[in-house]
Amino acid sequence: MRRTVVVLVLAALTLGMVAATAAQAPRALVVQTGTEPPGLDLTATPASATAAVVLYNVQECLVKVDESGKIVPWLAERWHTSDNRNYTFFLKKGVRFHNGRELKAADVKFVVERAMNPETKHPYPRYYEAIGDIIVKDDYTITFSLKAPTANFLLNMARQGSVIYPREAVDTLKSAPVGTGPFTVAEWVRGDRIVLKRFAGYHTKGLPRVDQVTFRFIPDPNAALAALKAGDIDASLFGLGPEHVADLRKDGRFEVIVGETTNDVIMAMNNSRKPFTDVRVRRAVTHAINKADVVKLAMFGLGRVIGSNVDPLNPYFVDLAGAVPHDPAKARKLLTEAGYPNGFEAVLRVAPQYYYTVRAGEVIVDQLAKVGVKVKIEQIEWGQWLSRVWKEADYDLTIIGHAEAWDIANYANAKYYYRYDNPKFQELFKQSEVTLDDKARRQQYAQMQRMLADEAPVVFLFIHPRLVVAKKGVTGFWKDLPIPSANLAEVGWTAPK
Amino acid sequence: MRRYVVRRVAAFAVTLLFVSVLVFVVVRVLPGDPAELILGTERDPATAERLRESLGLNRPLAVQYAAWLGGAVRGDLGTSIQYDVPVGRLIVSRLPVTLPLTLLAATFMIAVAVPLGVYAATRYRRGADYLAMVVSQLGIAVPSFWSGLLLILFFSVYLGWFRSGGFDGWASGVWSGIKSLLLPAVALGLFQAAVLVRATRSAVLDVMREDFVRTARAKGLPERRVIALHTLRNAMIPIVTVIGLQLGQLMAGSIVLESVFALPGLGRLALGAISARDLPVVQGVTLFVATTIVFINFAVDLAYAFVDPRIKYD
């Protein structure tokens, strides 16, 4: 009898332990990112490395861009506008900052007024230009009255520069930002890692799914791959190259997520410099490039070919990938018509900091040579690229990814480094900014995209893919990336490590 | 000796002044504007101008340099544009990685290269000598980032003995600190060890042809004593010179390996600062490294007197 009891007790203990181990999924996550944020203040830097860590993880906005790119209520549980000039937001009650204080409408007013103040050196003052008055009606109701209808007002309130923080924490924004997000910043070991801890008072019940997230900065893609394979990190968020995908897909230990981003990679042509002033030359260059081959050779087949500016995550996206197809014979014909029967010479300036620019450049140089356009690649460092290409437009050709969503405005700006000056396009864009009827605006966007495909101010190449590789059992990552946030609130373990 | 030290300190000050002017001018001549790099491609020109103003970048170059030098002399290297933290504090916070890494690499380099070089010299034109030369040639040919990756693949991914990168700090124990620096130290030391093997071998060979070595052998001393007491001691001057130069190169080499092993050291700080045009940090780190190298050279000069008592600094 005694023996039976002992055996039973032992069995129960063993089963209990097994059950406990099985039920207890790990509560910590180590993720890799390639670039260390230059600072954690989203109101002082446009760096996507900062947004990756802070946006939606530590600080949040009145409204949020969801996985599909749609704007949804967030710190404001709803909003209302009857004339598209006065937007009233109704704040969610009981939302607390990490310092324990409740979020009130006065905080929102303070934050937006601070962004509008030129002295604060906010990186995107133009997003708040349209705001006239900000009226706090009560603790949970705030109205923005705009000087003129602005179609992108809600989007601007969801962007990384519009995060809400308590006024008493302004001084710590750069190194220890306080917000309402699911995590608090626990530690930042510069050069090595940022540790986020679960915020127990988070306003959405059940989230976040883990107690701690460590962002490790591993700049070298091969080192990131080794860290993943050695089990030192649970997921790689930003940094692995497309060349690693085939191998990792075969490895049963990992889950590979390939999705869309808003990062459209283009080859810009200097529209103010001969021969690119001639639309026939620009079309010829576009016809000469086999974009599918560029994606295949430079991106290992990952990345979606595009034909115009708007990205597939944008609700107004029109697929124009085939609008100017690969046609070397037509390219030669157009070059002859433009007075360049033997082609011409040009320099392609690229910044190797972005690996895809050099790789795509090498493929394109080869393709252009086949129609007589002789291109020399010149690699320059990122700081120089910003200064020479982007600021002074001192270039013939360049390749770069534009990660910002809704950036068609750049083509309406004749001073932008494309130097594309088309009054018709500029007028159409101006109209689209004040058109609030969705159907009419969709038509204007479609028209703008077609105009860009036809005018070819740049060669629209492909969408840079989102690439996340995680250990099996880690779930909750967004497939697509409509905004540069790692968005880890819903990420957690479904199974033990 | 005192006069020698005074002369050296004066030369030291002039060298640093020269380095500081050079770095100051070079980082400013480079195309690329810190304000633009901070604000990125969507920046507003007026905001960039205000930022430039607040960073003091609108003042004439000479005024900027004088202000910076004035601060540096008082020990204030300015404030990092990127991190908004005093540069001195940033440098100090990176030393617990870079200094032990360099020292470990140097220890590895000396411990491997000097015995191997001596051994190769004693086996001159025999199998072991050729083998040592082939191995050292390989060591010179393989870039350190590549040997670093191979070490990670073998020891971290395949065997799982070491972490693949990163640094937890010394707080979690001396062994855990050393463990995260061991692979990068080996990768860093490998190239320099290969160079040192060749230098040691040829220095020892030169001495072995000297008359006093022949005399030592002739009077019947065992070969081990001939090598250890007579040859090696006399071959030390060129070897110490090479080691001194290599210590500086190890510090510079850490820039690459700190990236491969994701270590928060001085090299990565400098690299990040250069690409972000964080001018005060670039200047501060360069000045610090230059000072260290000048100090090492000074130490090497003093070591000569220790190695060879005939050398006196008067």
List pLDDT tens digits, range B61-81. Answer: 889 899 888 998 898 998 888
- Categorize the per-residue pLDDT at A22 as very low, low, confident or very high, splitting at 50, 70 and 90: very low
B176 in reach of chain A (CB within 8 A) = no
B183 in reach of chain A (CB within 8 A) = no
**pLDDT at res. B314:** 61
Q: What are the tens digits of pLDDT across the range A469-485? A: 999 999 999 999 998 89
Q: Examine the pLDDT at A21 and tell me if it is beyond 60.
A: no
Mutation site, A386, A413, A417, interface B, largest B CB count within 10 A: A386
Q: What are the tens digits of pLDDT across the range A289-318? A: 999 999 999 999 999 999 999 999 998 999
Q: In this structure, what token pair is assigned to residue B105?
A: 């690499």
Task: Evaluate the CA torsion angle B195, B197, B198, B202 in order and state its sign.
Answer: positive
**pLDDT at res. A101:** 96
Cα–Cα distance, A398 to A349 (Å, whole number): 5
Q: How far is CA A279 from CA A321, A334, A452, A454, B213, in A?
A: 19, 10, 11, 9, 82
**pLDDT at res. B165:** 87
Contact A123 B276 (CB under 8 A): no
Alpha helices in chain B (DSSP H): 2-29, 34-39, 45-54, 61-73, 87-122, 127-141, 144-151, 174-208, 211-218, 223-225, 232-260, 266-275, 279-307
B143 in reach of chain A (CB within 8 A) = no
**pLDDT at res. A19:** 45
- Categorize the per-residue pLDDT at A20 as very low, low, confident or very high, splitting at 50, 70 and 90: very low
Lowest mean pLDDT across B60-69, B107-116, B163-172, B240-249? B163-172
Q: Examine the pLDDT at A364 and tell me if it is beyond 90.
A: yes
| Residues 217-246 of chain B whose Cβ lies under 8 A from any Cβ of chain A | none
Please tell me the distance in Å from B185's CA to the nearest CA on chain A: 16
**pLDDT at res. A15:** 46
Mutation site, B30, B37, B41, interface A, largest A CB count within 10 A: B41
**pLDDT at res. A29:** 96
Residues of A whose CB is below 8 A from B145 = 220
Considering only CA atoms, which of A265, A273, A266 is closest in space to residue A419? A273
Mean pLDDT within B271-288: 88
Q: Are B286 and A241 within 8 A, CB to CB?
A: no
A226 in reach of chain B (CB within 8 A) = yes
B291 in reach of chain A (CB within 8 A) = no
Q: What is the ipTM of this complex?
A: 0.80
Closest chain A residue to the Cα of B158, Cα to Cα: A230
**pLDDT at res. A150:** 83
Helix (H, G, I), strand (E, B) or coil at A316: coil
Q: Left if phi > 0, otherwise alpha if psi is -120 to 50, otherwise beta: which for B85? A: beta
A8 in reach of chain B (CB within 8 A) = no
Residues of A whose CB is below 8 A from B260 = 220, 222-223
Please tell me the distance in Å from A390's CA to the nearest CA on chain B: 8
Q: What are the tens digits of pLDDT across the range A327-359? A: 999 999 999 999 999 999 999 999 998 889 999
Contact A391 B262 (CB under 8 A): no
A187 in reach of chain B (CB within 8 A) = no
Cα–Cα distance, A488 to B185 (Å, whole number): 35
Contact A223 B268 (CB under 8 A): no
Q: Examine the pLDDT at A223 and tell me if it is beyond 70.
A: yes
β-sheet bridge partners, residue A255: A470
Mean pLDDT within A108-137: 91
Q: Which residue has the higher pLDDT, B296 or B38?
A: B296
B264 in reach of chain A (CB within 8 A) = yes
Q: What are the tens digits of pLDDT across the range B14-53? A: 888 888 898 888 888 877 778 777 777 666 777 778 888 8
Q: Examine the pLDDT at A125 and tell me if it is beyond 50.
A: yes
Q: Which residue has the higher pLDDT, A78 or B25?
A: A78
**pLDDT at res. B19:** 87
Residues of A whose CB is below 8 A from B164 = 223, 226-227, 229-230, 232
Contact B54 A216 (CB under 8 A): no
Cα–Cα distance, A444 to A435 (Å, whole number): 9
Contact B54 A121 (CB under 8 A): yes
Give Cβ neighbours of residue B261 (< 8 Å, ≥ 6 apart). A223, B148, B152, B164, B165, B166, B180, B183, B184
Mean pLDDT within A230-238: 93
Report chain B's mean pLDDT, rounded to a whole number: 87
Helix (H, G, I), strand (E, B) or coil at A265: strand
Mean pLDDT within A64-75: 92
> What is the residue whose two structure tokens read 């075969």?
A250
Out of A446-455, B17-26, B202-211, the most confident range is A446-455
Report chain A's mean pLDDT, rounded to a whole number: 91
**pLDDT at res. A279:** 96
Question: Which secondary structure element, helix H or strand E, spans residue A305, and what is its range?
Answer: strand A304-305
Q: What are the tens digits of pLDDT across the range B126-172? A: 988 999 899 899 888 998 889 999 999 999 999 999 988 888 788 88
B43 in reach of chain A (CB within 8 A) = yes
**pLDDT at res. A16:** 46
Residues of B whose CB is below 8 A from A192 = 166-167, 262-264
Considering only CA atoms, which of B305, B307, B309 is closest in space to residue B8? B305
Helix (H, G, I), strand (E, B) or coil at A189: strand
Burial per residue of B20-41, b for 16 or more beta-carbon CB atoms within 10 angstroms, e otherwise: beebbeebeebbbbbbbbbbbb
Closest chain B residue to the Cα of A40, Cα to Cα: B83
- Nearest CB to A223; choose among B84, B164, B269: B164
Residues of B whose CB is below 8 A from A45 = 38-40
